[in-house]
């Protein structure tokens, strides 16, 4: 009996000491959708990895939370840009501490050496870290940063100059992207000394609001608050990412209070979440566009009248209801409406099969023709159900005499073949990287992009290209707006795509969460967020 009592007492003491030990900490739990591929955003292209690295790192400039506006972060102020647009001078903060962890204890603050270290690793083949852990830097390369940056000069410990090969107005927005997160040179040198270079991407040292503590594979990522954060301490002691791949399970965990915030709620759960009094949903138009590209290198899509006919033939409103479940709006331009320079004066091609038939007749195809329609094999925010949309398109096209056969490939094959221009009609889309119209228009529709393969319509229009290049060369916003608006007009008349939809981005959270601002790039940022008890 005595032993039983003793055991029960020690059991209770054990539990209560455990509860009191952990109850002191204010912890925020985020149910994320997957495992990060690395803890260095320079090596990644996926949002999951970016979300996991955002708490740890800072950049010279960053997007103001919830907007696409660029503001200084590790730089004290916006850079000084030379008149020819080729030199950007950054003045750096001198009060930024590097994280102190179990695996590294810094001896100095952030300075210009770290900026050089970060960018040189990605652009210089002879840098000691260039080939560490793969060395492919997909984002840095696909944004053309390697060719764009001619040199980076350290003027003094807190001044850095970027010299460009050509004027490029979106350059500043590029520096606010995740691949431009600043890494510690001192940490890099230390890892070389102890012969563990590859740890730089798995055991991160940053300057951000949270310090990386531990990652248990496919299960949990733990961060501790950075008490010395230069913009002020976060109210949380701990930030935890609970990796939960299934959207329905994330919803159930949110419901029972096992997490405060859930990534990517399933569209089918949104109504139920909205009705739950303990939960809420935040929605915003995403920075994306879903489109149908018509390969102008192939007949009859080289004929503008055919492309316009297809624009009139597709009932886009019906796709919004059936495919996006109402969580999107019809697209009339290749850039989303929330983006500056959006040309709202353009009148979209109305759904009008009769007009489409007339255009086909005018183009010399009164009875229509046969073609192949490639359907998107993966679910993307800009097109969640490619096959279903393909079936609806097939039926719309049949009404004007175009017999479309649906073609399906797996995602890598789809990317590879469409890059080579093997398709005729192709579902594709784009999610913005830096909030600049150039990132939509030049990346997907320029003559350069045709050579690179990202221009899936393979449409190269000199007039359109000139507008985009003129807009790149000036940092005057008014002039850029004019150029982009005119470019959108040319795009509309030439109709290389059927612009389909701009989808909404949704997040689900507990009612206790305050201060969260939805990010137009789809990232989840928890600095500035709190829990209301």
Partner 1 sequence: MFRYLSQRIVVLLIAFFGITIIAFSLIRLAPGDPITLLLGERSVSEELRKEMTANLGFDKPLITQYFLFIYQGLQGDLGTSVITKRPVVDEFFQRLPATLELGIIALLFAITVGMPFGICAAVKRNSFFDYFTSFTSLAGYSMPIFWWGLVLIIIFSVHIHILPVSGRMNLMYDIEPITGFMLIDVWLRGEGMPAFIDVLKHLILPGIVMGTLPLAVITRMTRSSMLEILKEDYIRTAHAKGLTNMRVIGIHALRNALIPVITVIGLAFGSIITGAILTETIFSWPGIGRWLVLSVTQRDYPVIQGGIVIIASMIIMINILVDTTYAIVNPKMRKQT
Residues near partner 1 (CB under 8 A) are 11, 14-15, 18, 22, 27, 29, 37-38, 43, 45, 131, 133-136, 138, 141-142, 146, 198, 201-202, 214, 216-220, 222, 240, 242-246, 248-249, 252-253, 255-256, 258, 409-413, 415-417, 419, 428-430, 443, 449, 451-454
Q: Are strands 403-407 and 370-374 parallel, antiparallel or unpaired?
A: parallel
Residues in the chain: 533
Neighbour-count burial for 25-42, b at 16+ CB within 10 Å, e otherwise: eeebbbbbbbbbebbbbb
Measured from the CB atom, the residue of 141 and 352 that comes closer to partner 1 is: 141
Measured from the CB atom, the residue of 276 and 466 that comes closer to partner 1 is: 276
* Distance in Å, CB of 231 to partner 1, minimum: 27
* Distance in Å, CB of 127 to partner 1, minimum: 13
For residue 419, the cross-strand partners are none
End-to-end CA distance of the chain: 43
Q: What angle do CA 365, 459, 363 make, to 5 degrees?
A: 15
Does an H or E element contain 122, and which? helix 112-123
* Distance in Å, CB of 111 to partner 1, minimum: 28
CB atoms within 10 A of CB 81: 18
DSSP 305-363: HHHHHHHHH--HHHHHHHTSTT-EEE--SSS-TTSTT--TTPPPPP--HHHHHHHHHHT
* Distance in Å, CB of 250 to partner 1, minimum: 9
* CA distance linking residue 393 with residue 386, whole number of Å: 10
* Distance in Å, CB of 458 to partner 1, minimum: 12
* CA distance linking residue 208 with residue 205, whole number of Å: 9
Measured from the CB atom, the residue of 148 and 470 that comes closer to partner 1 is: 148
Neighbour-count burial for 199-223, b at 16+ CB within 10 Å, e otherwise: bbbebbbbbbbbbbeebeeeeebbb
* Distance in Å, CB of 4 to partner 1, minimum: 14
* Distance in Å, CB of 46 to partner 1, minimum: 9
Measured from the CB atom, the residue of 214 and 299 that comes closer to partner 1 is: 214
Q: What is the dihedral of CA 318, 320, 321, 327, to 10 degrees?
A: -170
Does an H or E element contain 214, and which? strand 210-216
For residue 502, the cross-strand partners are 329
Measured from the CB atom, the residue of 249 and 398 that comes closer to partner 1 is: 249
**Residue 404 per-residue DSSP state:** E
* Distance in Å, CB of 318 to partner 1, minimum: 25
* CA distance linking residue 336 with residue 349, whole number of Å: 17
Measured from the CB atom, the residue of 300 and 386 that comes closer to partner 1 is: 386
What is each CA distance from 365 to 175, 372, 393, 472, in whole angstroms? 49, 16, 19, 40
Measured from the CB atom, the residue of 102 and 367 that comes closer to partner 1 is: 102
* Distance in Å, CB of 34 to partner 1, minimum: 8
* Distance in Å, CB of 207 to partner 1, minimum: 23
Measured from the CB atom, the residue of 135 and 528 that comes closer to partner 1 is: 135
Measured from the CB atom, the residue of 7 and 398 that comes closer to partner 1 is: 7
Measured from the CB atom, the residue of 372 and 419 that comes closer to partner 1 is: 419
């Amino acid at each position: 009996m005595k032993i039983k009592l003793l055991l029960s007492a020690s059991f209770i003491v054990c539990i209560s000491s455990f509860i009191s030990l952990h109850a002191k900490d204010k912890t925020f739990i985020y149910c994320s959708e997957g495992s990060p591929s690395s803890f260095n955003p320079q090596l990644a292209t996926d949002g999951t990895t970016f979300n996991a690295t955002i708490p740890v790192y800072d950049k010279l400039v960053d997007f103001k939370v919830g907007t696409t506006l660029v503001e200084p972060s590790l730089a004290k102020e916006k850079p000084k840009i030379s008149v020819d647009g080729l030199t950007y001078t950054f003045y750096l903060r001198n009060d930024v501490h590097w994280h102190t962890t179990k695996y590294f204890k810094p001896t100095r603050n952030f300075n210009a050496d770290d900026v050089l270290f970060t960018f040189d690793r990605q652009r210089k083949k002879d840098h000691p870290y260039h080939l560490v852990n793969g060395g492919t830097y997909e984002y840095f390369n696909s944004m053309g940063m390697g060719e764009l940056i001619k040199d980076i000069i350290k003027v003094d410990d807190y001044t850095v100059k970027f010299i460009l090969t050509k004027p490029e107005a979106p350059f500043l927005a590029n520096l606010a992207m995740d691949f431009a997160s600043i890494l510690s040179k001192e940490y890099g040198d230390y890892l070389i000394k102890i012969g563990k270079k590859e740890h730089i991407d798995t055991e991160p040292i940053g300057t951000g609001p949270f310090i990386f503590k531990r990652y248990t594979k496919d299960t949990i990522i733990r961060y501790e608050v950075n008490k010395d954060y230069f913009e002020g301490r976060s109210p949380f002691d701990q930030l935890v990412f609970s990796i939960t791949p299934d959207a329905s399970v994330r919803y159930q965990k949110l419901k029972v209070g096992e997490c405060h915030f859930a990534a990517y709620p399933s569209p089918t759960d949104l109504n139920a979440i909205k009705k739950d009094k303990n939960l809420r949903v935040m929605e915003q138009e995403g920075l994306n566009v879903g489109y149908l590209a018509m390969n102008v290198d192939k007949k009859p899509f080289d004929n503008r009248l055919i492309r316009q006919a297809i624009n009139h033939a597709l009932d886009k409103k019906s796709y919004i209801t059936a495919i996006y479940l109402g969580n999107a709006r019809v697209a009339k331009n290749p850039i989303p409406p929330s983006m500056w320079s959006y040309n709202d004066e353009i009148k979209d091609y109305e759904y009008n099969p009769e007009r489409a038939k007339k255009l086909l007749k005018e183009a010399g195809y009164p009875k229509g023709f046969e073609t192949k329609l490639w359907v998107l094999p993966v679910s993307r925010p800009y097109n969640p159900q490619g096959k279903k949309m393909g079936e609806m398109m097939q039926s719309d096209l049949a009404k004007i005499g175009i017999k479309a056969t649906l073609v399906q490939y797996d995602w890598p094959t789809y990317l590879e073949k469409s890059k080579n221009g093997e398709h005729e009609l192709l579902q594709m889309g784009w999610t913005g990287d830096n909030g600049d119209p150039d990132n939509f228009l030049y990346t997907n529709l320029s003559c350069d992009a045709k050579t690179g393969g990202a221009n899936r319509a393979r449409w190269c229009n000199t007039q359109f290209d000139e507008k985009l290049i003129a807009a790149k060369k000036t940092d005057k916003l008014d002039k850029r707006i004019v150029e982009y608006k005119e470019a959108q007009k040319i795009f509309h008349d030439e109709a290389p795509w059927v612009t389909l939809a701009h989808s909404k981005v949704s997040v689900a959270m507990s009612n206790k969460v305050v201060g969260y601002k939805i990010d137009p790039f789809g990232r989840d940022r928890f600095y500035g967020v709190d829990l209301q008890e």
